[in-house]
Amino acid sequence: MLYHLLPQFSDVHILFNLFRYITFRAAGAVVTSLILAFALGPVVIRWLARLRVGQVVRPEGPATHLGKAGIPTMGGTLMILAAVLSTLLWAELTNPFTLAVLAALVWMGLLGFVDDYLKVVRRKPKGLVARYKMAGQVVFGLALAFFLLRHPIWPVEPTWTMVPFFAEWALVFWAPAYVAFVPLVVAGSSNAVNLTDGLDGLAAGLAAIAAVVFGVFAYFIGRVDASAYLGLFYLPGAGELAVFAMALAGAAAGFLWYNAHPAEVFMGDTGSLALGGAIGVMAVLLKTEFLLVIVGGVFVLEALSVMIQVGWFKYTARRYGEGRRVFLMAPLHHHFEKLGWAESKVVVRFWIMGILFAMVGFSTLKIR
């Protein structure tokens, strides 16, 4: 909004010209979303407490989690509200990149909200049936893929994507394969963050780290000089994703203020599906889908741990008549809790891993 209103007054004072610059608006976005999350946090927590939407704890989980039962959940509404308001204030609202990620954040948030509502209000332990949840994610991914093929927003072919560490190489998809690939990225990212959301502050901290990385990449990819120097695709307009990414990072950090151990509120599927979906869509729009695997390395490990655990359990049940486990409990963070690690130690160590993966992601800018 400010981008559209204030630069026209630059002839009155040069300070108004600052609102043309992505770096200034990205800084404004992160501060705004952070302040909004700080300010609205107590209000949202009291509202959720009045609605009695308390966390449901699995009895088979770590014993230390039993005390979390009843703590307000669905706090992802706070992050979504802060990120959306900040983006609307600071971003270019006619930019297709901005509109796409806002749509992803709201759509996935609504999907998660329905899941949380069924769990904590309607008292259905499994929430939204898994296939319906997946269908909602895939539908958005398919709609995005078809839109990008029919109405490309890039100067390069829609089916091209960058390959990390290689400046001269690009992966070219067959159009039907691309249509399948985009929903895979969006749904995979959304579900991976959802699986990671099991400890106080874990998913929020990791999502903030990933959002900052994609914000930096968006800024470089949206500049003709920087993209040429770094061997990246030049995607005009993609720089606006830096504003959204920083707004998302600020919202996650602000939420972390109330979600840090011991948590006063949980994000629920409302927040985790929205965060993961938005990050996945940013990766698609920036043509950095494979970078997402690196930057979101912890999310990938969490998802793989569940897939390995379930797959091995089913295989051994058929083979030996009794299901066996690879991990003490999946997702991976619960395995370390079962080993005796304190919850805060698991969270901080996973954050450190997230920062290391982010550094590897940044290294792809120069190792090309």
The phi and psi torsions of 201 (rounded to 5 degrees) equal 85, -5
pLDDT (tens digit, 9 = 90+) per residue, 147-183? 999 999 999 999 999 999 998 899 999 999 999 999 9
Closest-CA residue to 274 (of 93, 69, 81): 81
Beta strands in the chain (DSSP E): 160-163, 166-172
Q: What's the confidence (pLDDT) of residue 68?
A: 73
Centre a 10 Å sphere on the Cβ of residue 315 and count the other Cβ atoms it contains.
Answer: 12
Amino acid identity, position 26: A
Q: What's the confidence (pLDDT) of residue 108?
A: 98
Give pTM, 2 decimals: 0.95
pLDDT (tens digit, 9 = 90+) per residue, 7-42? 888 778 888 899 999 999 999 999 999 999 999 999
Q: What share of the chain in percent tops pLDDT 90?
A: 82
| Residue 172: burial class (beta carbons within 10 Å; 0-12, 13-18, 19+) | exposed
Instruction: Please determine, for residue 97, whether its predicted confidence score (pLDDT) is greater than 90.
Output: yes
3-state secondary structure of 161: strand
Q: What's the confidence (pLDDT) of residue 64?
A: 65
